[in-house]
């Protein structure tokens, strides 16, 4: 059969079922396949994608969010210019020409400081009850539609706006009593989504590709939550007779007042800023070192040196093809998924923007924006193990066992999000 002749939408349909099939092949109890949840979740994901891409009013709402990105970015730049001078600004006191023009943008001081500002604003919105209301509403929908327990629904919903270590804080009191399947669902949803603190950063990076990209990033996280819950249920099903854990919103996650929320949020954003800088520096250097070693010791393959990106590209090429990427673009898209898994999604998004013109068509670019939108990478394993073990030491053994497995489920969930968009584009 000539797979290159299959239409891109059919590829995406095959992908949605194939990702569930991969999860089932890795399941701890293959006889407990959640047919009902599959029948509800997959159509719901497709409907959500179609609503935001096909309905003019919904599509325009995504465009409107671009103004928010511009406002927050402009405000942040005032702070970076004050602190870092021209290094934190796009304007320089000297001419930058030739090949050095690419050095004009200093990522650590011009893009990443957005994390500090957005983290502070998010903390204030939580203190004012706005984020609580949104998260509680989404959790209620998940509980009613998918039948997930209150604790899991709350943590999963929080992952749309909070991070993979912040969201479990909302159910800290219930972590000890979560079933193994529920704990895996919480971990998977953390991998399958991104935090609200980095959404504006991603929108800034990807703004040259699509002006409405912030809205797509939010939609990607919503769709991925549904996919994460489904794939987690397939891979680690609940045992016979287990009761779902209930929970109330926001216990133990409060601020004294608005100023405390703002300062605490800014401080946490600063820690995240530093952690991302350190992670990017270390992992980019590690990948570079591995490529140097392989280039020196291993023979060329197809006329080019063997690199980690190429190897991961071969691994992920079939998976991104299933998400709806044309066969001719699958290797390049697979490399992006490899970068995201080995390093993180920030570096992968930068690589996507820096791709040679014509590498991807507009549909493929949007599919990859969704497929890359998640924290499922190697460094996140340590973050999840350290974070959840600190919150509830009694579950450390379970976390150590489930965290690596969650990377697979989280990656499949983001690829499924890309497939949904590829299907309705």
User: Which three-class secondary structure string do you get for 314-358?
Assistant: HHHHHHHHHCCCCHHHHHHHHHHHHHHHHCCHHHHHHHHHCCCCC
- Is the pLDDT assigned to residue 105 strictly greater than 50? yes
pLDDT at 106: 73
Cα 121 to Cα 41, 169, 188, 254: the distances in Å are: 32, 18, 26, 15
pLDDT at 43: 96
* Higher-scoring residue by pLDDT: 13, 154: 13
Say how far apart CA 151 and CA 178 lie, in whole Å: 8
- Is the pLDDT assigned to residue 100 strictly greater than 70? no
Average of pLDDT values for 141-162? 85
Average of pLDDT values for 285-308? 87
Which candidate, 343, 355, 333, places its Cα nearest to that of 418? 333
pLDDT at 237: 95
Say how far apart CA 330 and CA 328 lie, in whole Å: 6
Q: Nearest 5°: CA angle at 23, between 413 and 280?
A: 45
Task: Give one word for 257, left, alpha or beta, with left for phi > 0 and alpha for psi -120 to 50.
Answer: beta
pLDDT at 234: 97
Q: Choose the weakest-confidence range: 36-50, 138-152, 257-271.
A: 138-152
Give the highest mean pLDDT range of 27-31, 149-153, 158-162, 378-382: 27-31
Q: Nearest 5°: CA angle at 251, between 247 and 254?
A: 155
Share of the chain above pLDDT 70, in %: 93
Cα 199 to Cα 102, 219, 221, 231, 234: the distances in Å are: 24, 11, 10, 24, 28
pLDDT at 13: 95
* Higher-scoring residue by pLDDT: 294, 278: 294
pLDDT digits (tens, 9 = 90+) for 373-406: 999 988 788 888 888 887 788 999 999 999 999 9
pTM for the model: 0.86
pLDDT at 25: 97
Listed in sequence order, the residues at least 6 apart from 390 whose beta carbon sits closer than 8 Å to its beta carbon are none
pLDDT digits (tens, 9 = 90+) for 237-275: 998 877 777 766 555 568 899 999 999 989 988 887 888
Share of the chain above pLDDT 90, in %: 44
Say how far apart CA 250 and CA 132 lie, in whole Å: 7
pLDDT at 19: 98
How many CB atoms are closer than 10 A to CB 185? Answer: 31
Asked if 386 and 396 touch (Cβ cutoff 8 Å), the reply is no
Average of pLDDT values for 327-338? 94
pLDDT digits (tens, 9 = 90+) for 303-332: 888 888 788 889 999 999 999 999 999 999
* Higher-scoring residue by pLDDT: 261, 211: 261
pLDDT at 3: 46
Say how far apart CA 272 and CA 255 lie, in whole Å: 19
- Is the pLDDT assigned to residue 90 strictly greater than 50? yes
Average of pLDDT values for 224-240? 94
Which candidate, 157, 177, 175, 176, places its Cα nearest to that of 167? 157
Average of pLDDT values for 335-342? 91
Which residues partner with 301 through β-bridges?
304
* Higher-scoring residue by pLDDT: 303, 293: 293
- Is the pLDDT assigned to residue 1 strictly greater than 50? no
Say how far apart CA 188 and CA 333 lie, in whole Å: 23
pLDDT at 42: 96
Which residues partner with 304 through β-bridges?
301
Average pLDDT, rounded, for the chain: 86
Residue that the structure tokens 């309705």 belong to: 424
Asked if 262 and 123 touch (Cβ cutoff 8 Å), the reply is yes
Q: Predicted confidence band at 369 (pLDDT cuts at 50, 70, 90)?
A: very high
At 344 the three-state DSSP class reads coil
pLDDT at 165: 72
CA-based end-to-end distance of the chain: 25
pLDDT at 5: 44
- Is the pLDDT assigned to residue 125 strictly greater than 70? yes
């Amino acid at each position: 059969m000539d797979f290159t002749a299959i239409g891109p939408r059919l590829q995406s349909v095959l992908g949605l079922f194939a990702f569930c099939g991969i999860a089932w092949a890795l399941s701890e109890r293959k006889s407990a396949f959640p047919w009902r949840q599959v029948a509800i979740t997959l159509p719901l994901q497709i409907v959500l994608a179609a609503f935001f891409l096909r309905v003019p009013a919904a599509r325009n709402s995504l465009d409107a969010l671009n103004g928010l990105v511009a406002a927050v970015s402009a405000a942040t730049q005032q702070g970076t210019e004050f602190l870092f001078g021209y290094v934190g600004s796009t304007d320089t006191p000297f001419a930058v020409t030739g090949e050095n023009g690419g050095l004009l943008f200093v990522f650590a001081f011009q893009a990443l400081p957005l994390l500090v500002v957005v983290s502070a604003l998010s903390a204030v919105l939580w203190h004012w009850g706005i984020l609580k209301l949104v998260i509680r509403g989404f959790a209620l929908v998940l509980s009613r539609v998918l039948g997930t327990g209150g604790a899991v629904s709350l943590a999963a919903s929080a992952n749309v706006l909070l991070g993979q270590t912040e969201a479990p804080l909302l159910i800290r009191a219930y972590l000890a009593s979560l079933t193994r399947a529920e704990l895996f669902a919480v971990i998977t949803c953390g991998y399958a989504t991104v935090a609200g603190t980095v959404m504006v950063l991603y929108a800034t990076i990807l703004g040259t590709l699509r002006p409405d990209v912030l809205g797509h990033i939010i939609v990607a996280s919503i769709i991925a939550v549904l996919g994460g819950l489904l794939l987690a249920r397939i891979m680690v099903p609940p045992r016979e007779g287990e009761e779902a854990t209930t929970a109330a919103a926001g216990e133990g996650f409060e601020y004294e007042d608005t100023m405390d929320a703002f300062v605490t949020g800014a401080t946490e954003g600063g820690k995240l800023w530093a952690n991302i800088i350190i992670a990017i520096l270390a992992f980019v250097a590690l990948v570079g070192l591995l490529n140097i070693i392989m280039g020196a010791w291993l023979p060329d393959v197809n006329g080019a040196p063997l690199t980690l990106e190429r190897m991961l590209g071969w691994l992920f090429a079939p998976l991104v093809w299933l998400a709806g990427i044309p066969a001719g673009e699958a290797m390049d898209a697979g490399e992006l998924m490899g970068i995201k898994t080995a390093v993180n999604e920030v570096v992968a998004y930068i690589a996507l923007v820096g791709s040679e013109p014509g590498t991807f068509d507009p549909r493929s670019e949007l599919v990859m924006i969704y497929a890359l939108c998640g924290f499922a990478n190697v460094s996140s394993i340590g973050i999840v193990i350290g974070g959840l073990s600190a919150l509830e030491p009694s579950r450390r053994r379970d976390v150590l066992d489930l965290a690596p497995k969650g990377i697979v489920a989280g990656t499949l969930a983001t690829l499924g999000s890309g497939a949904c968009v590829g299907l309705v584009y």
